[in-house]
Amino acid sequence: QVQLVQSGAEVKLPGASVRVSCKASGYGFTSHAFDWVRQAPGQGLEWMGWMNPENGNTDYAQKFQGRLTLTRDTSISTTYMELTGLRSDDTAVYYCARGVYDSGNGQYYFDYWGQGTLVTVSS
């Protein structure tokens, strides 16, 4: 069965960087895109960026341009999200999600999600 397993919770100081991993299993790693979505306490879902694991192409939400980097290691079916220059308002649960792109219908949605990784930014 499809599974996305993320790395554990992190506590970081303001200004630091964090890297969260997401290991995929149960399907072909390069067959679907990976997206990262976060949810701050009491807030909604916020899309951060997207990566094509086949060629490493990425696209980031404008809000995260310059701070967010998505990478992957195809040999271990793992994708990574690195966020730099952390601030207190980056405290959130970060999710990886498997993207389903239907070019014929012009739709994109997420059918499987990781369990989430809590990142706390505090001095």
Partner 1 sequence: SYELTQPPSVSVSPGQTAIITCSGDKLGNQYTSWYQKKPGQSPLLVIFQDTMRPSGIPDRFSGSNSGNTATLTIAGTQPMDEADYFCQAWDGNIVFGTGTSVTVL
Phi and psi at residue 98, in whole multiples of 5°?
-85, 125
- Shortest spacing between CB 67 and partner 1, in angstroms: 17
What the block records as the tokens of 45 is 């879902």
CA 55 – CA 30 distance, rounded (Å): 9
Whichever of 84 and 112 has its CB closer to partner 1, that residue is: 112
Q: Where does the chain have alpha helices with state H?
A: none
Q: Which residues bind partner 1 (CB under 8 A)?
A: 35, 37, 39, 44-47, 50, 61-62, 95, 97, 100, 102, 105-111, 113-116
CA 33 – CA 56 distance, rounded (Å): 10
Whichever of 17 and 43 has its CB closer to partner 1, that residue is: 43
Whichever of 74 and 115 has its CB closer to partner 1, that residue is: 115
- Shortest spacing between CB 47 and partner 1, in angstroms: 4
Give the angle subtended at the CA of 111 by the CAs of 96 and 64, to the nearest 5°. 35
CA 119 – CA 39 distance, rounded (Å): 10
- Shortest spacing between CB 73 and partner 1, in angstroms: 23
Whichever of 42 and 66 has its CB closer to partner 1, that residue is: 42
- Shortest spacing between CB 70 and partner 1, in angstroms: 14
